[in-house]
Amino acid sequence: MKMNKLNISLMAIAATALLLTSCQKKDKNSPGYEYMGEFDMYRTQSYKAYEDNNVFPNGLTMQNQVEGTIPHSFDREKMINYMPFPYPNTLGGRDSAIAFLKNPLQKTEANMAEGERLYNIYCIACHGKKGMADGPVVKLLDKRGNMGLLPPAYSSDQAKNATEGQIFYATQYGKGNMGPYNAQLSAFERWQVVMYVQTLQGGGTSPDSTAAQNDSIH
């Protein structure tokens, strides 16, 4: 009877030891049993970034981004800067920008102040402090008798009704003797400049909205 109890105890200990041993893994990363592991269905083949790859037509593992890919961001300034400019550098593109392109920024004191600051850095040399086309570069051209390169005053009949889209379009592609500013200023910054320039169209008075100015050209 004692021998039977001993045998049962030994068997129980052996079974427990076997169970614990079977649960232990020699490799902590081992998944245990694998189904069709020999066909790499579990352990898939990975490629290094600069390794040849016959999966793609160009034979490369590292692929370029799909054309037109835009980074995603919840930051409004980055969203404005990331978006591609939809109007081409053509007469039709310019007309569409004049009619439909709107400033995505709110008219706030902060945006207006930053627009003025940037204007005084990038625009004042030709357009002047108040947008009267009397900046130091213009004065130098005047002394040399080269007045054909003068920009119009923002409050002149030629420029006072320019829409926000028209002004931004000029910063994107340039106009006349003014080159583009899309390399110097981000889209967000140029919209701030546009906001300030529109105050100069009225002789330095901030308009309540641009709607009346936009309607005047139609």
Domain count, the chain: 1
Predicted confidence at residue 143, as pLDDT, reads: 76
Question: Is residue 86 situated within a structural domain?
Answer: yes
Question: Is residue 17 situated within a structural domain?
Answer: no
Predicted confidence at residue 15, as pLDDT, reads: 62
Question: Is residue 161 situated within a structural domain?
Answer: yes
Looking at every residue in the chain, the average pLDDT score rounds to 82
Full residue range of the structural domain in which residue 183 is found: 76-215
Residue 60: phi, psi to the nearest 5?
-110, 145
Q: Could you tell me the pTM of the whole model? A: 0.66
Evaluate if residue 20 carries a pLDDT over 80.
no
pLDDT in tens, 117-171: 999 999 999 999 999 999 998 888 777 776 666 788 999 999 999 999 999 999 9
Question: Is residue 69 situated within a structural domain?
Answer: no
* Residue 218 CA, distance from chain mean position: 32
d(CA 147, CA 77): 39
Evaluate if residue 215 carries a pLDDT over 70.
no
Token digits of residue 36: 């069709």
d(CA 126, CA 122): 9
Question: Is residue 70 situated within a structural domain?
Answer: no
Sign of CA dihedral 142, 145, 150, 153: positive
> Which amino acid belongs to residue 183?
A
Domain CATH for 202: 1.10.760.10
Question: Is residue 178 situated within a structural domain?
Answer: yes
d(CA 174, CA 185): 13
* Residue 160 CA, distance from chain mean position: 31
Question: Is residue 64 situated within a structural domain?
Answer: no
Q: Where are the beta strands (DSSP E) in 64-174?
A: none
d(CA 34, CA 41): 9
